Amino acid sequence: MNIPKIQLIPSWFYTMPNYKAKALERIIRHNPQACRKNKIPQGYGQFGLDRTNPIPVYGDPEIEVYLSKLRLNNGSKINWKKEKNVSASNIKQPIQKYQIYKQSGNLINSLYFSPYHLLTSNKAPKGFKIKT
């Protein structure tokens, strides 16, 4: 499979040790589902809310960047906690599960991320919006 070159590399990428940066690029380039879209084409179910339709992002650090821009529909900020890696039969790479909380500490739900894609999604799951 001929995957196009990665574009719009986040600034944090250049602060990583060289060996980690090369490893991340290698994983992304060898991900047969690596996409440059807001949604993984093979995903199904509720975007971001179901492990079968995780949010595509460019590397693990980009999950934190994405979450820092995510708001509830009413504009409220959220808190989060990484839970564990999970899998789904339709997604080739590990999926990272995060618990999402209101600022008050009440659990809202879980979000799922696929961190080995050519860009980070700008799409928000149902019940959320992206701060612009």
CB 4 within 8 Å of CB 53 = no
Q: Is residue 29 part of a domain?
A: no
Instruction: Compute the half-sphere exposure of residue 14: CA atoms within 13 Å on the CB side of its CA.
Output: 4
Tokens 């196009």 correspond to 4
Positions of the chain with pLDDT under 70: 1-9, 12
Q: Is residue 80 part of a domain?
A: yes
Render pLDDT for 80-105 as a digit per residue (tens, 0 to 9). 999 989 999 999 999 999 999 999 99
The total of structural domains in the chain comes to 1
Token couple for 84: 């564990």
- Domain span at residue 109 reads 34-130
**What pLDDT score was predicted for residue 5?**
47
